[in-house]
Amino acid sequence: MSAAAPLASDTQSRAVAQAVSSRRQSEVTGRAHRRSTAPATSAQALLVTALGLFNESDDFDATLRETLTMVTTALDGRVGEIWLRDGQARDVELRYSSSDGTPDVAAFEAEGKALGVGAGPALVSRVVKTGRGSASASIDAGGRDSRAVMAAAADIHSALTFPIRGKGNVVGVLAIFRETTTRPDSAALEPMPAVCHHLGQFIERVRAETAIHEAAMELAALASTDALTGLKNRREFDRALRTIPRLPFAVLSLDVDGLKDINDSEGHAAGDALLRVVGHTLGLLVRGWDVMARIGGDEFAALLPEVGVFGAQLVAERMRVAMHALVLATGPVRITVGWSAAPAGADPLSVWQRADESLYQGKRAGGDRVAGSSYEGGEAADIAERSYSEVVTRILGGGSLSTVFQPIVSLDDGSVMGYEALARPEGFAAMDSVEPVFEAARIGGKIRDLDWVCRRRAVQDAALLPDGSTLFLNISAAALLDPVHSVDQLLLLLTSTGRAPESVVLEITEHERIRDYDVLAQVLAAYRAEGIRFALDDVGEGHSTLELLAASASEFLKLGRSLTMTSTKVGSRAAMDATMAFARVSGALVIAEGVENEFVADLMKAGGITLGQGFGIGKPTMAGDVEDVAAALADRAALSALRPRFAIAHSRN
Ligand code: C2E
Ligand code: MG
Ligand code: MG
């Protein structure tokens, strides 16, 4: 057979079109092998159909498989194989095979696959080396080919080989193994050079496209990053704004105060060094899914999904204050931050513009400032301007309050073992922190009342959680020890909402020193008698003393986020180990808080912790949406080790 493949003529192209349409009509599947003696003309039509496939398809595997099946059938083969070359080396690998799947043939195929990447069988390597196929080589059971013996057992006695050529090079070999040793008739063989030629072109085209796509992805990553700070650049920020999902969000607009003076007096290198440090610091202050970008010159911007007025103000203030801690040769570092928080669906560019207006307002007022407003203005902006103690007063006066629920998840299999209820006063988004509100209540002596109002709301809102969910409720030690808020009061609340006390875990969020541990033990015993269990919140963050650990005999210990996040540091490691040791002795289960990503999840698992809670596993959401949280988990490749089973496991220990 001639090694050179003729180029497709116009006549052939027309034949392709005709064959494609006739193939569609006749629905030739070619999946099962027909050991037919089809007339040569129909064999030719089938083969030419392959050319249509190469022109139309982008599915590499499917096209090669389908072509192979058709060719094998048309040439009356028992087995068809495509061996592809790997780069410039002569190594080949059996990538596709097609057969009737009978056991003896399957053993022959498996032997070919087992060869992996290498020179391949003699009859294939010969084609790669010489660029020439063979029209009907008989297979000699005593020959060099390691599969020859198996071929005989599978009733295979001859092989047809064809080079698959790209631009000049052999990119692969098509081999058809047959029962008979007689040559197929010439009409069946005639289209083969054209088929192999176009197959080679197709392989090269798809490979080139893949390489271009990969290069483009690399370029895109480069094109989306600001070279100086490693943050996102202006283009990427614009893209993020355009593609923001339908969620409440906030935009921050930031500007480094006095950078121009530093550039003028100390030179641009000093200015760049300053920008780099500012950029790195800002990057550390946002969450993984926030977009922090350098927009140009001394301007930065952040896009914070699921953040409301309070969160925006808090993050902006945190950024401003963080600059005060930077020590640079050029002097103090100061920034001004403007923010705007908007409801889902607001126009992001207008929100950014609003943040910009606030920025310039802050600049005009002298810099080193935070200014902002709710995008809608009105009520939310009103709240932002009030102090946190006013938020407390408002809630206690009957103001609007809702609850979000965050899943507590098995780090082994991702199943949800319970939900923690977290209070969200009006103006707070699901991801905003209410820490300052509870702090204000503590300072103002209103923590017991706030605590109770939030718990009542939480138990009511928890009615929408999946049936049988365990509910983790926060309770301040002050409220727990207050005779006004007794176990009876909680039981009444549980009864009114149909929740069993056995499905409730009270998280003791201790921020004040407990004076009388005996009283605490008595109070806890009264709750436990009803089936209610306890968790010690934020262990390792300084509030939970050893005495409290011992006296509460909590069923769960929640390892505080500051420990979880720094678990690779020696000090944190020691505190974690001590907690684990205590848990082993007391029989408590440890829950790692603040699991923000898979890396932390792995660290916790390696440390023997089996339960986790954190934005990386499940964000706080409204009770009606928690099922979606679990579903999202299943899809998240980053957490592949944490595949949930969607089961709500009761933990009764
Ligand atoms: P907590 O009980 O330790 O609750 C966990 C806090 O960590 C929540 O903040 C939650 O949103 C946040 N969080 C969860 N996962 C992550 C993560 O991966 N990364 C980060 N950075 N944070 C994460 P939240 O809702 O702002 O609550 C703060 C604290 O306020 C709570 O800490 C709790 O002490 C108190 N609190 C919240 N709701 C209530 C309530 O209804 N009653 C009482 N008494 N206290 C509450
Ligand atoms: Mg808690
Ligand atoms: Mg906690």
Closest CA to 74 of 10, 143, 19, 131: 19
The contacts of residue 252 (CB under 8 Å, 6+ apart) are 301, 302, 304, 312, 315, 316, 319, 337, 338, 339, 355
| Residue 467 backbone zone (phi > 0: left; psi -120 to 50: alpha; other: beta) | beta
Dihedral of the alpha carbons of 336, 342, 344, 349, in degrees to the nearest 10:
-60
Ligand 1, residue 617: give the atom nearest the CA: 18
Structure-token match 């049936």, residue found: 467
C-alpha 502/C-alpha 531 separation (Å) is: 5
Cα-flanking dihedrals φ and ψ of residue 511, to 5°? -125, -10
Closest CA to 336 of 302, 306, 361: 361
Ligand nearest to the CA of 408: 1
Closest CA to 622 of 424, 349, 345, 381: 424
C-alpha 481/C-alpha 489 separation (Å) is: 13
Ligand 1, residue 593: give the atom nearest the CA: 15
* DSSP state, residue 411: T
C-alpha 406/C-alpha 401 separation (Å) is: 17
Contact call for residues 282 and 292 (beta carbons, < 8 A): yes
The pairs formed by 587-591 with CB atoms below 8 angstroms and a separation of 24 or more are: 587/555, 587/653, 588/554, 588/555, 588/556, 588/557, 589/555, 589/556, 589/557, 589/651, 589/653, 590/556, 590/557, 590/558, 590/559, 591/408, 591/535, 591/556, 591/557, 591/558, 591/559
CA of 593 to the centre of ligand 3 (A): 6
CA of 306 to the centre of ligand 1 (A): 15
The pLDDT assigned to 544 comes to 60
Please tell me the residue having the least CA distance from ligand 1 atom 22: 594
The pLDDT assigned to 628 comes to 57
H helices of 365-476, where? 379-385, 388-396, 435-443, 447-461
> Residue 55, SS3?
helix
CA of 240 to the centre of ligand 3 (A): 31
CA of 526 to the centre of ligand 1 (A): 26
Contact call for residues 308 and 343 (beta carbons, < 8 A): no
Sheet holding 299-305, edge to edge: 291-296, 299-305, 249-256, 335-342, 370-374
pLDDT tens, position by position, 518-565? 889 999 999 999 999 999 998 887 666 778 888 899 999 999 888 887
pTM, entire model:
0.54
Contact call for residues 277 and 331 (beta carbons, < 8 A): no
Ligand nearest to the CA of 564: 1
Strand partners, 536: 508, 557
> Ligand 1: does its nearest atom lie under 6 Å from the Cβ of 330?
no
Give the residue ranges of the chain where pLDDT is below 70: 1-44, 46-48, 87-88, 141-145, 219-222, 377-386, 511-512, 542-544, 627-653
The pLDDT assigned to 24 comes to 35
* Secondary structure element (H or E) that encloses residue 404, with its range: strand 401-410
> Ligand 1: does its nearest atom lie under 6 Å from the Cβ of 406?
yes
Cα-flanking dihedrals φ and ψ of residue 532, to 5°? -80, 135
Q: Which residues surround ligand 2, an ion (CB under 5 A)?
A: 474, 507, 537
Instruction: Say how many Å lie between the first and final Cα of the chain, rounded.
Output: 77
The pLDDT assigned to 417 comes to 94
CA of 285 to the centre of ligand 1 (A): 18
| Residue 650 backbone zone (phi > 0: left; psi -120 to 50: alpha; other: beta) | beta
User: From residue 299, how far is each of 120, 122, 144, 164, 338 by CA, in Å?
Assistant: 60, 66, 71, 56, 11
633 alpha-carbon distance from chain centroid: 9
Contact call for residues 418 and 406 (beta carbons, < 8 A): no
CA of 411 to the centre of ligand 3 (A): 17
> Ligand 1: does its nearest atom lie under 6 Å from the Cβ of 360?
no
C-alpha 376/C-alpha 317 separation (Å) is: 21
> Ligand 1: does its nearest atom lie under 6 Å from the Cβ of 438?
yes
C-alpha 159/C-alpha 89 separation (Å) is: 24
The pLDDT assigned to 47 comes to 64
The pLDDT assigned to 197 comes to 87
Kindly list the structural domains of the chain, giving each domain's residue range(s) and its CATH number in brackets, ordered by start.
25-208 (3.30.450.40), 234-382 (3.30.70.270), 399-640 (3.20.20.450)
Contact call for residues 372 and 316 (beta carbons, < 8 A): yes
